[in-house]
Amino acid sequence: MLSIGACRVDDPTASFYVELSPDREKSEPSAVKVSGLDPDVLKKEGTPPGEAMESFAHWIQQTVPESEQPVFVAFNAAFDWMFIADYFQRYLGHNPFGHRALDIKALYMGICAVTWNETSMAAVTKALGISIELSHNALEDARDQARIFNSLLRMSKEKKG
C-alpha cells in the first residue's frame, strides 16, 4: 500500500491523506502505475507504515465523536478494507474500524434492484447523474465515494417517501 485517503462521508472536507514508504521490495506493477506514485521516491520521502497507521488511527479517533463508532465506507469495500485492516493489524495490532465496513456497490444494488454486473463506477455514477474523473489519488477517490454514498442516501430517502 502506497497511500491512504479518507474523509467523513458527512463532511468530506474532514480528511486524512498520507503517502507510505513501501514495506516490501516487490510490488504489483499495474497497481503502482495506476497510483502514479513512485515507490523509489516513497522509500526516501514516504511515511513509515507504522507511523502512517498511528496517524490514521489518531485521525479516526479525533474525527469520530465518542458516542459513535467509525465505519469504513468504500466503493467495493471488501477490496479496500482488506488492505487497511491488514496494515492496522500488522502495525498497530488492532483495527479501529473492527468489522464495520459498508460497501457502496452493495448499497446501490439494494436501493436500485440491480445485479453486481451493473455496479461499475461508470454505471453507478451515470445512474446517479454524478460526474467523476477517477484520479486514483486516495483522498480524491475517498471524496468521490462520499459523494456517491450521499447521493444514494438521498435516493433511498426519496424512495421511502
To the query of whether residue 136 is one of the catalytic residues in this protein, the response is yes
Listed in sequence order, the DSSP H helices in the chain are: 29-35, 39-45, 49-63, 77-92, 104-112, 121-128, 138-160
The residue from 58, 94, 99, 136 that is catalytic is 136
Q: Using an 8 Å Cβ cutoff, are 20 and 155 in contact?
A: no
Residue 70, helix vs strand vs coil: coil
DSSP secondary-structure letter at 47?
B
Q: Hey, which residues are catalytic here? A: 136
